[in-house]
Amino acid sequence: MNQSQQQTHALAGIMQAVCQIEDIANRGETDPAATRASIASVLQQDPDQLTDAIGSLDSLRYGLQRMQEMLQGEQNYLPALQYAMAVMQMEKNLRRSSSVQQAVARELQLINLSGVGGRAGDPDEQQQSEADMEPGGAPAQELITQLADVWTSQVRRLEPQVVVHGKPVYLQNETNIQLIRALLLAALRCAWLWHQLGGRRWHLLLRRKRLLQQVRELLKNL
């Protein structure tokens, strides 16, 4: 992949996470495979390549499809886009706070060392990773809870606050709340990588046609 394609790959990771948040907030459900890919990306602290850090393009199919619809002008994705923009601003403030960076890295390392998360994508840890997944491929609740705690205790102090809107019946469910927080952490992780690859928020406004073309090409190859 060239740099522009890598940026699109990372942006798909952000959109995959925030679109799942929108699904949970309004329908109380999301795609288990997409959830697994998003959660696994948070635990990759020292990836060798982009696919290790975010997941393969196939695992990001959910995010790529929704990016395509969003870039084509679908208004249904406006809330998800707003979440993405807020997370990107939060990532900018995270880069300015070494103390929060260190705290988040420490907490994620502890989760990895505890064995709760396994290491998705590492063949030597496949058995452990499978043990941390519920039937159907969804991440285990213990892992979701720990990642949600990282968001609440370390990240949420950063500005701006991400306010998720949806139906109260879903947003008052504690399991949904924890999954939303874990997915926000996944979105933040992808936003960090996106920025490292040269991605900027204004690209979503001024490079829409180019992004749409790249997304279509990536989907065509899946």
Instruction: Please check whether residue 214 is in contact with residue 5, taking contact to mean a CB–CB distance below 8 angstroms.
Output: yes
Say which CATH architecture domain 3-127+139-220 belongs to.
Orthogonal Bundle (1.10)
3-state class percentages of the chain: helix first, strand second, coil last, to nearest 5: 75, 0, 25
pTM more than 0.85 = yes
pLDDT tens string for the chain (222 positions)?
A: 788 889 999 999 999 999 999 999 999 999 999 999 999 999 887 777 888 788 899 999 999 999 999 999 888 889 999 999 999 999 999 999 999 999 999 999 999 888 765 444 343 443 344 335 554 456 889 999 999 999 999 998 898 989 999 999 999 999 999 999 999 999 999 999 999 999 999 988 889 999 999 999 999 988
**Of 1, 164, 142, 144, nearest to 82 (Cα)?**
164
Q: Which helix (H) or strand (E) holds 215?
A: helix 208-220
Q: Is the dihedral of CA 109, 115, 121, 124 positive or negative?
A: positive
pLDDT of amino acid 121 = 38
End-to-end CA distance of the chain: 14
Residue 49 buriedness (CB in 10 A; 0-12 / 13-18 / 19+) = exposed
Task: Extract the tokens encoding 152.
Answer: 């609440």
pLDDT of amino acid 52 = 78
DSSP-assigned letter for residue 160? S
User: Where are the domains positioned within the chain?
Assistant: 3-127+139-220
